[in-house]
Structure 1
Amino acid sequence: MTSREFNQSASEAKRASLSGPVFITDRGKPSHVLLSIDEYRKLAGGMTSLADAIAQHGGGGVDFDAPRVGGLYREADLS
């Protein structure tokens, strides 16, 4: 499906994705793939995000200390 066709008929693309991946092309080259959420989860191996894991456990009693990362920013020069 071309990106133009996708833009004009997203609902058709969503229906088609229930039968398998829908490849969207841009200038004749594949640029995106539309999958149903079930197919995506199969490909992702059922991985759970941190937010989902915390939500499943009610969020209570879960300790998480994010490591500090240095050097990713610099002070603003306001002079």
Structure 2
Amino acid sequence: MKVLTSRQFNQDVSAAKRLSRDEPVFVTDRGRPTHVLMSIESFRAMSGRRESIVDLLGLSDAVPVEAPTHDRWDC
């Protein structure tokens, strides 16, 4: 189990995300655990949820598709 202070977490979020790929990362505030960061795969395994079409459609790295600029009946 990895533990980061809130300050460490805020200073390097990318490092916290890398650490959470292998195991949950506990974030503390004034020495007390307040949050847990884990990979989505770990969360789904723990909660029993599977990826849904809604999850896939909400991906932020999805490539936007532009609608055609002409009406298909105007040929």
Q: State the alpha-carbon separation in 2 of the partners of residues 10 and 22 from structure 1.
A: 11
Identify which of 31, 35, 40 aligns with 1:37.
40
Higher relative contact order (CA 8 A, sep 6+): 2
* TM-score, structure 2 as length reference: 0.62
Scaled by the length of structure 1, the TM-score of the pair is: 0.59
Distance 1:27 1:47 in 2: 35
Q: What CA RMSD, in Å, does the superposition of the two structures yield over aligned residues?
A: 1.9
The sequence identity of aligned pairs, in percent, is 52
**Distance apart, 1:29 and its partner CA:** 0.2
Q: Which residue of 1 aligns with 2:11?
A: 8
Higher strand share: 2
Partner SS state of residue 27, structure 2:
strand
Ranges in structure 1 where 5+ consecutive residues have no aligned partner: 56-79
Shift of 1:46: 1.6
Aligned equivalents of 2:50 and 2:41: distance in 1?
12
Superposed, 1:1-79 pairs within 5 Å as 1-46=4-49, 52=54
What are the ranges of 5 or more consecutive residues in structure 2 without an aligned counterpart?
58-75
SS in 2 for 1:13: helix
Task: Mark the structure with the bigger radius of gyration.
Answer: 1
